[in-house]
Amino acid sequence: MAEDITQDQWEDLIAKDTSAVILDVRTEEEVEDGFIPNMLNLDIRQGQGFLDEVEKLDKTKNYYVYCRSGARSAQACTLMNQMGFKTTYNLIGGFMSWDGEVAE
């Protein structure tokens, strides 16, 4: 199930989620501008390449997905759910609205 969540919900859920995976679906260039720590980067714009990499992931884990504004990550969550992933969370507003910890 895909769910849109706020940054506060994201931080609360991740704090107590032992099987959380943070997935950044932006391009490499976008990631160079900063990212949420401990993330895995798979660029959704790679199309089939993205799907191939996602297919290798553990479908039993909980995925916290973000992009720049929330649109591509929503699309990624939908695709992942169709591929059999049980739990995906989309960060509302994406990285543009993020005011939590950032790595570079």
Residue 102 maps to a domain: no
pLDDT value, residue 2 = 86
Mean pLDDT of 29-40: 96
Residue 34 maps to a domain: yes
Q: What is the pLDDT of residues 47-100, one digit of tens each?
A: 999 999 999 999 999 999 999 999 999 999 999 999 999 999 999 999 999 999
Separate counts of helices (H) and strands (E) for the chain: 5, 5
CATH code of 65's domain: 3.40.250.10
Residue 104 maps to a domain: no
Structural domain count, the chain: 1
pLDDT value, residue 103 = 95
- Annotated catalytic residue, options 39, 44, 67, 77: 67
Residue 103 maps to a domain: no
pLDDT value, residue 79 = 97
Q: Which two tokens stand for residue 76?
A: 């990624």
pTM above 0.95, yes or no: yes
User: Is residue 67 among the annotated active site residues?
Assistant: yes
pLDDT value, residue 102 = 96
pLDDT value, residue 1 = 76
Containing structural domain, residue 77: 2-97
